[in-house]
Amino acid sequence: MCARYKEPAPIKDHLNPLDSMMERFSEAAEKLGLDESTYNALKSPEKSVAVSIPVTMDDGKIQVFEGYRVIHSANLGPSKGGIRYSMSVTLDEVKALAAWMTWKCAVVGIPYGGAKGGIKCEPRDMSQGELERLTRAYTVAMADVFGPEKDIPAPDMGTTPQIMAWLMDEYSKIKGVSSPAVVTGKPLVLGGSLGRVEATGRGVMVSARSAMGKLKMNPSSATAAVQGFGNVGSISAKLLEQQGVKIVAISDISGGYYNPKGIDIEEAMAYVAANKGTLEGFANADKISNEELLELDVDVLVPAAMEDQITVNNADRIKAKLIVEGANGPTSSNADQILNDKGIMVIPDILANAGGVTVSYFEWVQNRLGYFWTEERVNRRADRIMKQAFEAVYDASIKYNVNMRIAAYIVAIDKVASTMRLRGTF
Ligand code: GLU
């Protein structure tokens, strides 16, 4: 890595997503020969907003929550990115996630910049009423940040279509207009798009299929382990299973479930739906840990839980031939080299999970048109975008002689940098 671009060197595997993002950004910027001023302009977010949100809880006490919205870049268009409700939310995490959204939108070629929001809270321990008040209060605090042509939120970890509905309602009331295009991932009756709920998992499946093609891996004789059984993990598992892949392990916060004969994913999804949203107690499988799941002898590994699951501490024990990143930032930057040396193909988050924001873009387009597409049209167009993006990144990986992750960053940075040059600066 060129000294000019080097951020402070990590001493150990730092597990800071912002550092992980910067490492890859710096490496790709150097390969691309990006000029220093553009590099400097892109390394910091355009805007970071931090708010304290007082909310009356069900017991009558007031609790104050930390909330953030970070706009990394609005060069390609209005900024786009989800809102995360989790106890792990920090400003650094939101900054990294916002930058990843910039690269993600650029990789798939949709006209958006990148943003991310987050509130430090534990949604599982909150009532619907508390979640609604928190969401409305956050929307009031961010009313001048959001906007259908400015900054468009969406669901992420811990947030749901219902939360997007409250956000849309509160924003519409503040502005005095009906404004469905201010947020995506809404329930269908409020202007959501067919196919949006499945879109991220579907993109993971399409990326996995493209990668399997390059690796000459036959889906019908391949095995996979999927970490995380939320929206992304469960749908990825279901769609991969439909492609003939045998899913031998799944997991959630209750731990991992392993069955070498294969897990029936529809059955697991029905179990979770009837079991307060968790796999806890799921039968027909051996109980393993989330860490053990990552190290299983499978062909395909889909980390679809959260950041920094594959690190220097376990990367050398990973046996999969292909990793398809359903989560954002599941691999720390220090683990990249280890996976590379082992010859493992990694389809990076900013490509593999971009199906979600792609269909968010379709939702926004439909809201602005006031005309809605069939699910078949949504899926066909999303699949085409995902396949084209995969091929563009694959070609860049050959041209620059880099892995798929750095190639994806190169494609993205090149696009954002050229729009910056065209738009100019003061
Ligand atoms: N939260 C999702 C992501 O990280 C979707 C963002 C969006 O649809 O705007 O890609």
Encode pLDDT of 303-359 as tens digits: 999 888 999 999 999 999 999 999 999 999 999 999 999 999 999 999 999 999 999
pLDDT at 183: 98
Give percent of the chain above pLDDT 70: 96
Say yes or no: CB of residue 367 within 6 Å of ligand 1.
no
Distance 195 CA to ligand 1 centre (A): 14
Looking at the CA of residue 81, tell me the nearest atom of ligand 1. Answer: 9
What confidence score (pLDDT) does residue 2 get? 41
The mean pLDDT of 382-388, rounded to a whole number, is: 98
Give the model's pLDDT for residue 6: 53
Measured CA angle at 219 (ends 106, 284), to 5 deg: 110
Ligand 1 atom closest to 184 (CA) = 8
Which residue shows structure tokens 């080299």?
A: 337
Report the pLDDT averaged over residues 84-113. Answer: 97
Among 79, 89, 150, 200, residue to substitute to test ligand 1 (most atoms within 8 Å of Cβ): 200
* 234 Cα: distance to centroid of ligand 1 (angstroms): 17
Ligand 1 contact, 82 CB (< 6 A): yes
Mean pLDDT over residues 28-45, rounded?
94
Task: State in Å: Cα 81 to ligand 1 middle.
Answer: 5
CA angle 122–126–129, rounded 5-degree value: 140
Q: Which atom of ligand 1 is nearest to the CA of 354?
A: 10
CA–chain centroid gap for 215, Å, is 24
Query: b vs e for 7-30, b when ≥16 Cβ sit within 10 Å of the residue's Cβ?
Result: eeebeebbebbbbbbbbbbbbbbb
Domains belonging to the chain, first-starting first, are: 45-182 (3.40.50.10860), 196-343 (3.40.50.720)
Query: Average pLDDT, stretch 221-247?
Result: 98
Asked whether 154 lines ligand 1 (CB < 6 A), one says yes
Angle between helices 355-369 and 375-399 (to 10 degrees): 130
Cα 304 to ligand 1 centre (Å): 13
Task: Answer for the pair 146, 180: CB distance below 8 angstroms, yes or no.
Answer: no
Average pLDDT, the chain: 95
Report, as residue numbers or ranges, the catalytic residues. 116
What confidence score (pLDDT) does residue 14 get?
Answer: 56
Instruction: Provide the pLDDT confidence category of residue 235 given band limits of 50, 70 and 90.
Output: very high
Provide the 3-class DSSP secondary structure of residue 52: strand
Q: For the segment 170-193, what is each residue's pLDDT rounded down to a tens digit?
A: 999 999 999 999 999 999 999 999
Q: 175 is written with which tokens?
A: 């502005």
Q: Are 31 and 5 in contact (CB under 8 A)?
A: no
The preferred substitution site among 70, 84, 156, 207 for testing ligand 1, maximizing ligand atoms within 8 Å of CB, is 156
Any ligand 1 atom below 6 A from CB of 328? yes
Task: Kindly tell me the sign of the dihedral angle through the C-alpha atoms of 127, 128, 129, 132.
Answer: positive
Within 10 A of 88 (CB to CB), how many other CB atoms are there?
A: 13
Question: What is the per-residue pLDDT for 16?
Answer: 79
The CA 100 to ligand 1 mean position distance, Å, reads 10
pLDDT of residue 3: 41
pLDDT above 90 covers a percentage of the chain that reads: 93
CA angle 84, 89, 91 (to 5 degrees): 110
Nearest-angstrom CA–CA distance, 230 and 302: 13
Specify the pLDDT at position 12: 59
